[in-house]
Amino acid sequence: MIPADAPTARDEAARALVRAGLARIAPGPDLDALEDTADLRDALELDSLDFLAFVEQLSRTTGVRIEEDDYPRLRTVASAAAFLTAAGVP
């Protein structure tokens, strides 16, 4: 439903996917207040198991295999969304 030639809409959708993934792991006021450019592990106090659960979640909802080497690209909501759109999602 999102036109492929609408990068802004795609980016919005990708951010929503990232936030939906985070909402499964660390829902609450901290997530609501999370800036798109904030370090999400610090802001949400995610430990390695939480982060892995987030990666797994994101991988499952998007179908994108996320390697450990890609973790640095998932530092913020914005960078994670950019990673997803670069991988062709949504």
Partner 1 sequence: MPSLGADMDAGTVVEWAVAPGDHVHRGDLVAAVETEKSVIDVECFEDGVVERLLVPVGTKVAVGTPLAVIAPEGATPAPTPAPTPALTPAPAPAAGTPERDGAASLPRATPPVRRFAERLGLDVARLPGTGPHGTVTHADVRAAASTGTTARTDTTDTTDTTDTTVPSPTPTVPPAAPAERPRITPYARRLAAERGTPPEALRPGADGVVRARDVPAGTGATPTRTPRPTPQPTRPTTPPSPRPAAQGMRAAIAARMTRSLAIPQYHVDSVLELGAPLDRLREVNRRLPVSERIVPAALLLHATARAARRVPELNGHWVDDTLVPATTVALGVVVSLRGGGLLVPTIPAADELTLSELMAALRDVVARARTGRLRTSDAADAGLTVTDLGETGGHSVHGRIFPPQVALVGFGAVVRRPWAEGDLLGVRPTVTATLTGDHRATDGVVGGRFLHAIDDVLHDTEEWS
- The residues of the shown chain that bind partner 1, judged by CB under 8 A, are 16-17, 19-21, 23-29, 32, 41-42, 45, 47-49, 52, 55-57, 59-61, 65-69
Map residue 13 onto helix, strand or coil: helix
Min. distance of Cβ 9 from partner 1 in angstroms?
Answer: 14
How far is Cα 41 from Cα 18, in angstroms, rounded to an integer? 13
DSSP, res 69: G
Closest CA to 90 of 61, 53, 70: 61
Min. distance of Cβ 7 from partner 1 in angstroms?
Answer: 18
Q: Is the CB of 3 or the CB of 29 nearer to partner 1?
A: 29
| Neighbour count for residue 40 (Cβ, 10 Å) | 28
Min. distance of Cβ 53 from partner 1 in angstroms?
Answer: 8
Q: Is the CB of 52 or the CB of 82 nearer to partner 1?
A: 52
